[in-house]
Chains A and B, each alone.
Chain A
Amino acid sequence: MATFIVRRLLLMGLVLFGVSVLMFCILLTFSPERRAAAFVTSPQQARDIPKIIIQYGLDQPVYIQYYRWVKEISAGNFGYSTVAVSPVSEAFMRYLPITIEMNLFSTPLIIIIGIWLGTQAGIHKDKAIDQVTRIFAIIGWSLPTFLFALLLLMIFYGLFKLFPPGVLSNSVEMFIMNNPEQFIRYTGMYVVDGILNGRLDISLDALRHLVLPVVTQVTVVIAILVRVMRSSMIEEMSKDYIITARAKGADRKTTCFKHARKNALLPAVTVAGWLVALSIEGSVTVEVIFNRPGMGQWLVQSATQLDIPVILSVCMFLGLIYVTTNLIIDVLYAYIDPRIQLS
């Protein structure tokens, strides 16, 4: 086990090195003047671009430039974001909680509902619930996330005036802006902060703004989990040990949930990495459509306004998250299923 983890950690370092080279290649497509912005930390510095070009060796050979760039990044200097009007590292702390908050709500729902629906569809193959989940999955599969989100906005905001876009109502937002001492932002997540400050009304308001984003995220990401869970459930149910259990008198419910589902969960773990990637992509789309100032919206705004430092650091950050979660999933998988040989 230990050698497996060490080997995977080394590989992970290699991949992250590759990601940094890839990002550096993207950086190289820009002129030195634009690239200088990646090293700036304040608006005052931005006026002295030629000085920065010399200071950071942007007129030097490529490998020296790469070395210096990595050195800056590992020292925590990610540059200045013109979109956020603050250093990238500061803006990170502001935008990240908004994205995390949404995924804290959507991820458990995806896992619980996904496994439940997949199990039900597998047990009742070709019955009504199977057909319903199939249609549900095809919708999640074929419906572009941004169109689905727009459709939800049209119906539930336009027609029924129920769930508005944004993160908070205007009045609440004004209150927080004008009374920073009455509402302390401990975590940056409004639902949690509302509880911590004893302002449940603010938590409820934030929750109301979370409904549509979470519904979109769940619908789009869940499809793959339901389908995998269904087919692995069907496979397990036809195995000999289930027939033996039934022959010995175990009732259908016990064999389904105590015997088959435990084994059927294993293949579902393998799509976990996929779910992470889908959740990240979903967050980007959902935040753009529902106007939530999180990482995704920041990234898209930076892309349209050529805020290069943001794009590079967000890509590196997401790469780190994705590679780390995949490592955890692999180790977890080996731990759950002792039949798997780690080599």
Chain B
Amino acid sequence: MNLSRNPRIREFKFTLSRIFSNPSAIIGSLLLLFFVTVAVLAPVIAPPKNHRNPYIIPHKGYSSVPKPPNKENIFGTTAGQYDIFYGAVWGTRTAFRIGIIVVAIAFVLGAGMGTVAGYYGGAVDETIMRVVDVFFAIPFLVLTMAIVVAFGRGLDNIIVALTLVVWRRYARVMRAGVLTVRDQEYVQAAKTIGVSDTKIMLRHILPNAVFPVMVIAFMDVGSMVITAAFLSFVGLGAARGYADWGQMVALARNYIVGPADDPLRYWYTIVFPGGCIILFVLAWNLFGDALRDAFDPKMRRR
């Protein structure tokens, strides 16, 4: 059979054409491509000086006064003479690590819980959803902060804390999706011919209910990086001098307003790391937004 006639491949091609007919998706994916390239090529773009831990930003001297961009440090240096360019490049890897690990684990956890709750219903559903309610009762940032305090500060603990909090939304959205699919005829048919519950959930229910959750997850990658950056900013995250955008904004904190005669003198200390965070988040949001339009059955065939 001709491969291009296969309905699945045709459908996939249609989805792709839907995604890339949207200008915001093109901007979003170009930005993402840029960040992926920078992350992959980080050792080439900014060769590490400390080979055992390349995430430590090199610094010459300890002066706390930032230096403007020059030949040696093309983005300038921030407080403690840490090179901003090096931090921005390697910080890309940190951002991907935070966003993707958190969202991937939370997605599996939340979507799994939501599917089980929606499929079995009854006491299982009640139990799982009441736990979700408890996690929902405290605002995201506050609960994350409390868990980081319990586990101790540090980037790895921020990742754990974010994962433990963000799954709640995936569980709720997934369950709602499963409920609409659960009583369809094809699920009944599968049950009648004796397909196991696990297989029904994985083969028949999950693929038909997972897209709304996937779109949220995509857009959450950016939000995770924002929250982690804020926690690093207040001093609960990465150590001083670690290649993390939030920590670099924290280093710039005392230089946001310069001396009276030149208030914007230290603009580079905040604009470069801050700009990285904003563009990174924007990339995921634009791409996620386009995904939603492409996967939404109501919008799809218009």
Interface residues of A (CB under 8 A from B): 11, 14-16, 18-19, 21-23, 26, 29-30, 138, 141-147, 150-151, 153-154, 157-159, 277, 280-281, 284-285, 288, 299-300, 303-304, 306, 308, 311-312, 314-315, 318-319, 322-323
Find B130's partner among A18, A30, A300, A319 (CB 8 Å cutoff): A18
Q: Contacts A303-B145, A314-B142; is A153 near B150 (CB within 8 Å)?
A: no
Find B149's partner among A158, A308, A318 (CB 8 Å cutoff): A308
CB of B9 closer than 8 Å to a CB of A: no
CB of B151 closer than 8 Å to a CB of A: yes
Find A144's partner among B147, B148, B226, B263 (CB 8 Å cutoff): B226
The interface bits of chain B over 36-74 (1 if a CB of A lies within 8 angstroms of the residue's CB, else 0) are: 000000000000000000000000000000000000000
Contacts of B282 in A (CB 8 A): 138, 142
Find A29's partner among B150, B230, B235 (CB 8 Å cutoff): B150
Nearest chain A residue, comparing its CB with the CB of B134: A18
Give the CA-CA distance A319 to B138 in the complex, in Å. 5
Contacts of B277 in A (CB 8 A): 144, 147
Query: In the assembled complex, how far is the CB of residue B12 from the closest CB belonging to chain A, in whole angstroms?
Result: 28
Find B139's partner among A22, A157, A281 (CB 8 Å cutoff): A281
A143 B278 Cβ-Cβ under 8 A: yes
A interface SS class: helix
Q: Contacts A14-B130, A18-B130; is A323 near B137 (CB within 8 Å)?
A: yes
Query: In the assembled complex, how far is the CB of residue A223 from the closest CB belonging to chain B, in whole angstroms?
Result: 11
Give the CA-CA distance A11 to B134 in the complex, in Å. 11
Nearest chain B residue, comparing its CB with the CB of A308: B149
Q: Contacts A142-B222, A142-B285, A144-B278; is A303 near B138 (CB within 8 Å)?
A: no
A281 B142 Cβ-Cβ under 8 A: yes
CB of B233 closer than 8 Å to a CB of A: yes
Q: Contacts A303-B149, A303-B234, A306-B149; is A157 near B257 (CB within 8 Å)?
A: yes
Interface centre among B130, B134, B147 (most CB of A within 10 A): B134
Contacts of B140 in A (CB 8 A): 277, 281
Query: In the assembled complex, how far is the CB of residue A264 from the closest CB belonging to chain B, in whole angstroms?
Result: 18
Q: Contacts A281-B139, A308-B149, A322-B137; is A142 near B270 (CB within 8 Å)?
A: no
Q: Contacts A15-B130, A277-B140; is A304 near B236 (CB within 8 Å)?
A: yes
By Cβ-Cβ distance, the 9 closest A-B pairs, closest first, are A18-B134, A158-B257, A158-B263, A144-B226, A29-B150, A319-B137, A26-B150, A281-B141, A280-B139
Contacts of B249 in A (CB 8 A): 146-147, 150
CB of B264 closer than 8 Å to a CB of A: yes
CB of B154 closer than 8 Å to a CB of A: no
Can you give 18 A-B contacts (C-beta < 8 A)?
A: A11-B133, A14-B133, A18-B131, A19-B138, A22-B134, A22-B135, A138-B285, A146-B233, A146-B249, A154-B257, A280-B139, A280-B142, A284-B141, A285-B230, A304-B235, A304-B236, A315-B143, A318-B138
Contacts of B270 in A (CB 8 A): 150, 154
CB of B214 closer than 8 Å to a CB of A: no
Nearest chain A residue, comparing its CB with the CB of B222: A142
Q: Contacts A18-B131, A150-B256, A323-B137; is A299 near B233 (CB within 8 Å)?
A: no
Query: In the assembled complex, how far is the CB of residue A289 from the closest CB belonging to chain B, in whole angstroms?
Result: 9
Nearest chain B residue, comparing its CB with the CB of A141: B285
Give the CA-CA distance A125 to B137 in the complex, in Å. 36
Query: In the assembled complex, how far is the CB of residue A320 from the closest CB belonging to chain B, in whole angstroms?
Result: 8
Give the CA-CA distance A21 to B234 in the complex, in Å. 27
B145 A299 Cβ-Cβ under 8 A: yes
Contacts of B151 in A (CB 8 A): 29
Query: In the assembled complex, how far is the CB of residue B289 from the closest CB belonging to chain A, in whole angstroms?
Result: 9
CB of B146 closer than 8 Å to a CB of A: yes
Contacts of A26 in B (CB 8 A): 146-147, 149-150
Question: Would you list which residues of chain B between 189 and 235 have a CB under 8 Å from chain A?
Answer: 222, 226, 229-230, 233-235
Give the CA-CA distance A19 to B139 in the complex, in Å. 12
Give the CA-CA distance A147 to B249 in the complex, in Å. 9
Give the CA-CA distance A134 to B230 in the complex, in Å. 25
CB of B23 closer than 8 Å to a CB of A: no
Contacts of B80 in A (CB 8 A): none
Contacts of A314 in B (CB 8 A): 142
Find A322's partner among B138, B146, B149, B274 (CB 8 Å cutoff): B138
CB of B159 closer than 8 Å to a CB of A: no
Nearest chain B residue, comparing its CB with the CB of A316: B138
Give the CA-CA distance A23 to B146 in the complex, in Å. 9
Interface centre among B141, B229, B278 (most CB of A within 10 A): B141
Give the CA-CA distance A141 to B278 in the complex, in Å. 10
CB of B121 closer than 8 Å to a CB of A: no
Query: In the assembled complex, how far is the CB of residue B157 from the closest CB belonging to chain A, in whole angstroms?
Result: 11
Give the CA-CA distance A280 to B145 in the complex, in Å. 13
The interface bits of chain B over 234-270 (1 if a CB of A lies within 8 angstroms of the residue's CB, else 0) are: 1110000000000001000000111000011001001
Contacts of B229 in A (CB 8 A): 144, 146
B150 A30 Cβ-Cβ under 8 A: yes
Q: Contacts A159-B264, A303-B148, A303-B149; is A19 near B134 (CB within 8 Å)?
A: yes
A311 B146 Cβ-Cβ under 8 A: yes
CB of B88 closer than 8 Å to a CB of A: no
Give the CA-CA distance A158 to B139 in the complex, in Å. 32
Give the CA-CA distance A30 to B150 in the complex, in Å. 7
Nearest chain A residue, comparing its CB with the CB of B282: A142
A147 B146 Cβ-Cβ under 8 A: no
